[in-house]
Structure 1
Amino acid sequence: MSWYAMLVLAVGAERVAELAVARRNARWSLARGGVESGRGHYPVMTLLHTGLLAGCLYEVWAGHRPFVPALGWPMLAVVVAAQGLRWWCVATLGRRWNTRVIVLPGLPLVTRGPYRWLRHPNYVAVVAEGAALPLVHSAWITALVFTTGNAVLLATRIRCEEAALTAAAAEAGGGVPA
């Protein structure tokens, strides 16, 4: 097995770990009155992210994509940085982090960690990883298809998340979240 296949499988294992954390956090949030939004786009998101991993492997194999060091090494650094940012988000949000949109009414927005500077830092990690992981091994079609699909999905996802946060803040009497 090539080192690139092992990298893609490691990212896949990281996704499985994310899902385990998300399931645990979802149970915690729902037990405390959390409200889930955006169920309709979640299966599309799951399919898109699974397609990213499969596309990376398939395109490199079927398209005989080379490893180009001038592109591959910087993209690998972006993938590693994206993982760091993602897990910083997970640690900062704690039990409130999820792959689903689940909001606990009455809780203030988190404004520490990467959320001090960015409204949706986890999505920055997703965008960076989705473009960089395929390009580590010149899988430019996968990078293009994922990035395009992800842009459409994130537009929907962020609208959904913002609406859920705004509704929760209004319900708590806090108005629109900052």
Structure 2
Amino acid sequence: MAIDSDYTVNSGVTTGVIGMQDPLYLAPGDISGLNPVASPFNDKHYLKWSRAVKMALISMNKVGFITGKYPKPAEIAATYQDWIKADYNVMCWILHSMIPEISESLLYVQSSKQLWDEIKDRYNQANAPFLYQLRKDVMHTIQENNQSVVNYFGKLTSV
């Protein structure tokens, strides 16, 4: 997808019109301080947190910023400033979805893609003690007498 597709040049003056489906579009409700997930990331449950953030970014048509689908354009491109603004917004959403101790350590990363990759490198580590505890929790999860099958299944899948 070419991000420059909605930009036109008239008499040497570049004008941009960003449509609502464009990944550079920021809706009036897209506030950079918005927390896109219910509970902040605290270095536990990385997979749940990353899934929730991806879902939020997909719903806002911004997931391409963290996957690399929407790379940074050249500084002379008509979309450069709009891309910077949208990318910084995505970075803010991600940073606001974490506890301050984690987000502060990532504050100087240069793009949302680099931020996402850094978080993944730090926290998406398969570790034996965590897997052992997870297996133990699943084995000890029981359906209580008055608990519905749906609630029990929910309990099992959230462990």
TM-score, with structure 1 as normaliser: 0.28
| Higher helix proportion (structure 1 or 2) | 1
The structure, 1 or 2, with the larger RCO (C-alpha pairs under 8 Å, 6+ apart) is 1
TM-score, with structure 2 as normaliser: 0.30
The structure with the largest alpha-carbon Rg is 2
